[in-house]
Structure 1
Amino acid sequence: MGGRIRTAVLGAVLALVLVPSAVAASALPASAAGKPTVTLSKSEAGTGGSITVTGSGWRPGTLLMMLICGQSVPARGVIGGTNSCANADGRAVTTDAKGGFSKKLPVAEPPRPCPCVVHVATVTGEKSEADAIFMVAGHAVEPLPKEEGGGRIAVLTDPRLDGSSGLLTWFGSPPSRTLVLTVGNVGTGPVKNPVFQVGTSHGVFAPQWEEQQWRGTIAPGRKAQIRLPVELSAGAHGDYTVSLRYGGKVLAEQPWGVGRPWGVTVFWILLCVVVPAAVFRAGMAVVDRVRPRRSAGRAGRHRGLRPDELTLRMPWVNAAPRTPADDSASPVPALPWFTADNDPGTGAHGQLSAPQENGPTTQTRKGHT
């Protein structure tokens, strides 16, 4: 009896504690749980009008894009991707410090029929999106396409890019990587040979999608590693983003910083230096060939001179004229340096003598005087 009383009392206490907590949790908005939300001022409007889009629960200071998209419901998202949206009439908005925003959006007819939604998604950073049901007055309405099979793919791990740039990439060859990620089948049916779409975007530009098929089967509740090649155009450099899309929904995004091909720059610098130098040398060779030559006599006379013939020859003192035969036979005499004995200006004792009064030189000088 006492045990039953204690059990009843414990149950009443737990009810008093858990019931208010459950009621409070159900009363909390989705933004309190960290999920972004979008509300509209009108649920239906015609082309040419406008609606006010209000959001909450977003990351502070995040750039968002607002679009009206056709063939979409919040449960399945934008089935045809941004190709189903009125991209030309979209608006961008930045969230405030609390993660909220409010901005007017012009109403325009999307390229696909309704059911329609107002699709809000982040432009950069971590992928976040939210949809709100909206009806474009006067726009066609068609049923949604049926889902093929019961399999659904979800990304289980963060994607990564394997590979590195080689020497050819440094000279402008197309950069290439391999997108690697692990996906799982969260549906009820198998997924056979899924076709993914790999897109690459530069900066704020829209990605360029390319279909790639993965060979294999993912059973329900199983996972598999997907490896898909990614390649950019030749000479690409800067900040790129690699996106993976399946079934019209973007599953993952991975940034990719591509270095500048400096080899191309070095090549052009060398080309600007080498080509002018080669042209200059070719021009000098042409000038050297067409310029007039010197006469044969002058050229021969200059070529015939020997180093010993260009030396300065001093006149020999008291030497008789010699013939060419004597030059070849007799040795070269020494220089005729004057000595004290044979100097005509010295006396008998080797001293200089003064000129005499009756000498011819003195008389000549006097006569002139």
Structure 2
Amino acid sequence: MITTMLAEAWSALIANRLRSSLTMLGMIIGVAAVILMLAIGGGVQKQVADSISGLGSNMLIVTAGAGRQGGIFGGAGTGATLRIEDADGIARLDNVLAAAPSTSVPAQAVAGPANWATNVTGSVPAYFQVNDWTVGDGRIFTDREERAGARVAVLGQTVADKLFGANDPMGQMVRVKGISFTVIGILEKRGQGFGGQDRDDVIVVPLTSALRLLQGNFFRRSIRTISVSVASADALDSVTDDITALLRRTHRLRPADPDDFQVANLTAITDTLTTTTRAISLLLAAIGSISLVVGGIGIMNIMLVSVTERTREIGIRMAIGASRAAVRLQFLLEALMLSLIGCGIGVAVGTGLAMLVGGVIGFETQVTLFAVTVAFAVSASIGIFFGWWPATRAAKLSPIEALRS
């Protein structure tokens, strides 16, 4: 019986192709808009998570406080409030796997006739462990080289490409602020971070070399950040408290004094950004779903017209024994078919637009099975909801009055 009704519903839609197509247009636009918004939102969430997880898992970042020269205040990290001894103390805390002190100096790197403005990071070998960053070619510098202030450098892929092009950088010299460093390694490519920052645009040198040769006199004995690798995500909060207590004690801060440092929990930042982007994507999807309601109203309108045009047909069906429930089901199936076909086309259009937009804006959009399933479920609900009144109106017709029309 259902198969026969579906065949009749299809025939009714085919008999009015243009009208059926225009009716489905609202559903197509609505579903495509929802799929596109959810895909963009999912892509943004993935990029945020990848960008922060690329910095290292279960990691805390301790940043120096704001500096002041004369009447001018700088931002976080500009003060000379952190020392290498702070990193040594943090490394001895419970649940801390490693602590890597580092400083960053913007500089012009020169190799032969080529030059490139980049950031030079001075740190220790633990920097690569904490940040989960390995070399694709060559090696990192050793603890012995770091303590000795060796003039060696590990290049990010972007710097290597800009300074050496297709040539092999290994063993070549790079000059930074007039100081020559020997290239001993090339870091694996990481790509762009959140906000478009190029994470491969960096040169890493031993911390002792950076402090002695590259950093200004004011910061000669200070570091900008300490990257801390924590044993587990559950220990992040307790380690944050331990670091705060340790630094306040070693910096001899009184209870009323504010912290002269900042401790950032990257996991908390990830959760906050993920929650925010999810809320934004759901809001955009909700706005796009307004088109689904418009499409549902269009379905109800066209089904009312169909009931009016087919009044005599309804009377004949009832006269030969069709029940009111069967008449109602017939028109419900037609409304449901209009909705689901429009949804299928909308999913295809939305997926295509998501791929196109992803290529234009430069990151991967995600069309998930969940989004497609929800789209079909909502479309089916809209088809039944907006088709119920026309179907019920058809079922309530008097057979005699219908035959007379």
TM-score, with normalisation over the residues of structure 1? 0.24
More helix by share: 2
| Relative contact order, higher structure (CA 8 A, sep 6+) | 2
Structure having the higher Rg: 1
More strand by share: 1
